[in-house]
Amino acid sequence: MKKSPILITLALVVFAIFPLVVKDQYYMHIAILILYYALVSQAWNILSGYSGQFSFGHAAFFGTGAYTSSILFTKLGMSPWIGLIIGAVIAAVIGLFIGYLSFRFKLRGVFFSLGTLAFAEILRIIIQNFDVFNKTLGVLIPYKPDPLMFQFSSRTTYYYIILIFAIAVTALVYYISRSKLGYNLVAIRENEDAAQSLGVNTYKNKMIAIAISASLTAIGGTFYAQYMLFIEPATTFSNDVSINILLPAIIGGAGTVLGPIVGSLIIIPIGELTTTWFGNFVGVNLMAYGVILILVMLYLPEGIVGWFQNKFGKKKSAKKNKDSSISGGEEVGTLKN
Amino acid sequence: MKKIVFFMLATLLILTGCTGKAQSGEENIVKIGALHPLSGGLANEGQEMRDAARLAVKEVNEAGGIKSLGGAKVELIEADHEGAPEKGMSEIQRLDREKVVGVIGAYSSGVTLPATQEAERAGIPFVVDIATVEEVTERGFKYTFRVQPPASMMAENFLEYFDVLNEMSETPLETVVLVHEDSVFGTSIASLIEKGASDHQIDVLDNIPHAATAADISSTINKINRLKPDAVIATTYLRDGTLLVNGLNQSNFQPKVIIGVANGAFSNTAFINDETDINQHIMDVNYSINPQSELALEVSQKYEDQFNKHMGPNAAYSYTATKVLIDAVERAGSTDRAKIQEALSETNLTEHILPQDTIVFDESGQNANAQAVLNQIINGETKVIYPDEYKNADPVLPTK
């Protein structure tokens, strides 16, 4: 663990100078996707990794962010930078509303997951049926590079923006994981009733977690909209989006600070590499991708970072290791409840 | 267990090696990209279109390649966007690295918009075969060209043909109900028809959306039964379209005529051949090949021989887009993308398989003469019944 500051500094340097070394637009695009998925997955990690409230509907927050900034920009000419903040606030409110309905009435485990899934669908149907949101036509953001309007002609600028976002959110997650809030959330994940009996206000802590998670996911949504310059209900509110958000964290290790980043660093390049390798055979890239995911799930159920911590963190933090190995078992327990 | 994992990884590596080698080859080739949804929910349509592009390339190569480039062979680089916008973007970059001189695609509007934008940035000519939304050619892009008639043209053609039907028929059609699937495809066409209806003295009683995946659309049928329109106007995909016609057939009320607009069911071989009990005399305003053109019939036959399936409208447009792109390369006499873009903007293609005048692009890059025709299913076969210069059957007019 003592080595990690050096490693992290090294990683930061690599990320920072990446665009200076690599000029290829294809690799830049992939790097942006990696950071963007790391960001949204990290946001998901706060709620679902740390407090164990497994959300299957983060598309609700993602879409809210994307649509808020895009609608405000195209209809009122408001800068997406402001829209980003408004979107984050609205997403937090929606998160609190979902949290209120779910946590107030003690929705746990799969029932909470199903609840979030349903909410994302409800929002999609609302968007699809109101003229303000252009119904199913989506929102096309006119291409006019202007830094004040969150649009850049150079891909490098997008890269640095998403890099800063991803680092900031990861730092926040690191801070939370060391704070009282973080300990409370982990306690809730391990055993909610026990945590409550020890005086943890589980309702309040879960509400804070969902609000933070939702608003950060919405920021990812605004970034996506400004990067793609076109959004539609199918690509912002669908279940696919929810799954893509949670996948890096699951692969990398849910409930760990570096999990979503490591996960994203692995699955995005694999997705692209398999396309390049097997592009001549339709669908083989998806099969290879699927096989790799299954192998990770089978052999590294606690994620890559989780596995590393178990394997190499044994001597120095035996106690911590014990906790995380318990968490695996307890998770199943909560799901059964 | 570990052995199995190693074995799998080893296989993966071997496969990688195999595909890597195929790259090096002859020098004198011109690469063009075909970006379609080859996997995922739209895989069927995407592969149909990819096959059409293959056929076009094969024809050109068999006829001696690109003459202005010393008989250079055309190589088709196939790309799969899976229906995901970010995938479409990265595939354009991959094609850029492959040094394609141009791209055709991409079927889904949601992918076509970001993909054409990426192509514009990279300066790659992009000939859109199918993508309905207006905005594709409304962004002032230099490198984007579209062969297909957009949603507005579909709606305009429908309104015009509706008037023509009314002139020919003794029983006037006055009231209509619009039924459409609720994605961008159905919604855009239906709302454009609704907007233009009053100018054509058409009374739209209702405009009913449904999800294309809906298991049951009996509420739509019930509404139609209550409203009793003269005509039902439908923009649907295959399954929901079949449900609609079946449901109407079994209900108490029969409209005088069912007319599809760009309908995915009424133009589909499966519906035309297998649903003969219910599909008699259904009309469809749709893009299609020109049945009066010898060339079109020949191409359609070749397609059927080679891929063992009927050449649908999507395939016809992919075939044409590929031909348009290759024609531009031939005239440019160069693999320089800017020169090909210039040649594309000067396109004037008379030898084509579409029911329209010569293919020319207007300033926005839209095929200026693109139009839909009015089809009717007569005795299990789809026939063009209007405009007159393309028709191969007389219309059977509503008599009920």
ipTM of model:
0.78
Asked if residues A270 and A292 have their Cβ atoms less than 8 Å apart, the reply is yes
CATH classification at residue A76: 1.10.3470
Find the helix or strand (DSSP H, E) in which A27 lies.
helix A25-44
Residues of chain A in contact with residue B97, where contact means CB-CB under 8 angstroms, are 24, 26
Nearest to B149 by CA among B382, B385, B362: B362
Distance in Å, alpha carbon of A205 to nearest chain B alpha carbon: 35
Phi, psi of B158 (to 5 degrees): -60, -50
pLDDT at residue A60, as a whole number: 97
pLDDT at residue A2, as a whole number: 52
Instruction: Judge whether residue B141 has pLDDT over 70.
Output: yes
Confidence (pTM): 0.83
What value does the mean pLDDT of chain B take? 88
Residues of chain B in contact with residue A138, where contact means CB-CB under 8 angstroms, are 110, 184
Q: What is the pLDDT of residues B228-238, one digit of tens each?
A: 999 999 999 88
Domain boundaries defined on chain B: 28-149+293-345, 152-286+373-390
Distance in Å, alpha carbon of B39 to nearest chain A alpha carbon: 6
Nearest to B31 by CA among B96, B116, B107: B96
Q: Which of A136-140, A173-177, B100-104, B110-114 has the lowest mean pLDDT?
A: A136-140
Residues of chain B in contact with residue A279, where contact means CB-CB under 8 angstroms, are 19, 78-80, 94
Judge: A282–B85 Cβ closer than 8 Å, yes or no: no
Mean pLDDT in residue range B115-136? 92
Fold matches, B28-149+293-345 and B152-286+373-390:
yes
Superfamily classification of domain B28-149+293-345: Response regulator (3.40.50.2300)
Cis peptide before A234 (omega within 30 of 0): no
Which residues of chain A approach chain B closer than 8 Å at the C-beta? 24-26, 29-30, 33, 128, 135-138, 140, 142-143, 228-230, 232, 234-235, 240, 272, 275-280, 282-283, 285-286, 288, 291, 295, 299
Out of A137, A272, A282, whose CB is closest to B38?
A282
Q: Which of B18, B19, B77, B134 to mutate to test the interface with A (most CBs of A within 10 A)?
A: B19
pLDDT at residue A97, as a whole number: 96
Cβ–Cβ contact B207 with A under 8 A:
no
Q: What is the pLDDT of residues A204-245, one digit of tens each?
A: 999 999 999 999 999 999 999 999 999 989 889 988 899 999
Distance in Å, alpha carbon of A199 to nearest chain B alpha carbon: 46
Percentages (nearest 5) of helix, strand, coil residues in chain A = 80, 0, 20
CB pairs under 8 A between A and B: 91
Residues of chain B in contact with residue A135, where contact means CB-CB under 8 angstroms, are 182, 187
Judge: B114–A136 Cβ closer than 8 Å, yes or no: no
Instruction: Judge whether residue B377 has pLDDT over 80.
Output: yes
Torsion sign across C-alpha atoms B355, B359, B362, B366: positive
Mean pLDDT in residue range B93-105? 93
pLDDT at residue A333, as a whole number: 37
| Domain B152-286+373-390 part of CATH 1.10.3720.10 | no
Residue B399's pLDDT band (boundaries 50, 70, 90)? Answer: low
DSSP string across A92-118: HHHHHHHHHHHHHTT--HHHHHHHHHH
For residue A60 the two structure tokens come to 């609700």
Residues of chain B in contact with residue A232, where contact means CB-CB under 8 angstroms, are 110, 184
Q: What is the pLDDT of residues B49-88, one digit of tens each?
A: 999 999 999 999 999 999 999 999 999 999 999 888 889 9
**Largest Cα–Cα distance in chain A?**
60
Instruction: Judge whether residue B292 has pLDDT over 70.
Output: yes
Q: Which of B86, B181, B207 to mutate to test the interface with A (most CBs of A within 10 A)?
A: B86
pLDDT at residue A284, as a whole number: 77
Residues of chain A in contact with residue B8, where contact means CB-CB under 8 angstroms, are 291, 295
Q: What's the CA gap between B124 and B142, in Å, rounded?
A: 10
SS3 B320: helix
pLDDT at residue B245, as a whole number: 94
B29, β-bridge pairs:
B73
Mean pLDDT in residue range B281-292? 90
Q: What is the pLDDT of residues B322-340, one digit of tens each?
A: 999 999 999 999 999 999 9
* Domain range enclosing A29: 4-336
Judge: B79–A272 Cβ closer than 8 Å, yes or no: no
Phi, psi of B375 (to 5 degrees): -105, 160
Residues of chain A with pLDDT under 70: 1-3, 279-280, 314-337
Number of domains in chain A: 1
- From residue A92, how far is each of A60, A84, A219, A221 by CA, in Å? 11, 12, 11, 13
Q: What's the CA gap between B259 and B266, in Å, rounded?
A: 9
pLDDT at residue B238, as a whole number: 84
Q: Where are the alpha helices (DSSP H) in chain B?
A: 2-21, 43-62, 85-97, 109-122, 151-168, 184-197, 218-227, 238-250, 269-274, 294-307, 313-332, 337-345
Judge: B91–A275 Cβ closer than 8 Å, yes or no: yes
Distance in Å, alpha carbon of B382 to nearest chain A alpha carbon: 31
pLDDT at residue B134, as a whole number: 87
First to last CA, chain B: 70
Instruction: Judge whether residue B216 has pLDDT over 60.
Output: yes
For residue A1 the two structure tokens come to 């663990």
pLDDT at residue B18, as a whole number: 44
Q: What's the CA gap between B200 and B196, in Å, rounded?
A: 7
Which residues have a Cβ under 8 Å from the Cβ of A156 and sit 6 or more positions away? A19, A28
Residues of chain B in contact with residue A154, where contact means CB-CB under 8 angstroms, are none
Q: What's the CA gap between A331 and B71, in Å, rounded?
A: 65
Residues of chain A in contact with residue B91, where contact means CB-CB under 8 angstroms, are 275
The two beta strands, B203-210 and B144-146, are unpaired
Q: Which of A307-311, B351-355, B396-400 has the lowest mean pLDDT?
A: B396-400
